[in-house]
Amino acid sequence: MVKINWDEFKEYKKGSHREDNFAILLDFMKSYYNMLHPSDIFDSLDCDDLGKMMLKKRSINDAEDLENYLFKL
């Protein structure tokens, strides 16, 4: 689990071609923190207030839900 660096995310977002902030955040987590396992990504998002809000908005309640969401991207 890592603490999300939102300033770095904002910089990363400037270079992204995606429009969905959550998809950009997932790409950021994979790239910046080298997180590839859905449970690691979920744990980090679940410990962050903004990350938690993004998960809730998409009805992602656990790592399995996040994995299913990732397959849809």
Q: Are 28 and 45 in contact (CB under 8 A)?
A: no
- Of 1, 67, 8, the closest CA to residue 32 belongs to 8
- Token pair 């980090």 is found at 44
pLDDT digits (tens, 9 = 90+) for 28-68: 999 999 999 999 999 999 999 999 999 999 999 999 999 99
pLDDT digits (tens, 9 = 90+) for 2-23: 999 999 999 999 999 999 999 9
pTM: 0.92
1 within domain boundaries: no
14 within domain boundaries: yes
How many whole angstroms from its chain centre is CA 16?
A: 14
Q: Which residues of 2-32 are buried (b: 16+ CB within 10 A; e: fewer)?
A: eebeeeebeebeeeeeeeeebebbbbbbeee
How many structural domains comprise the chain?
Answer: 1
- Residue 50's domain comprises 6-72
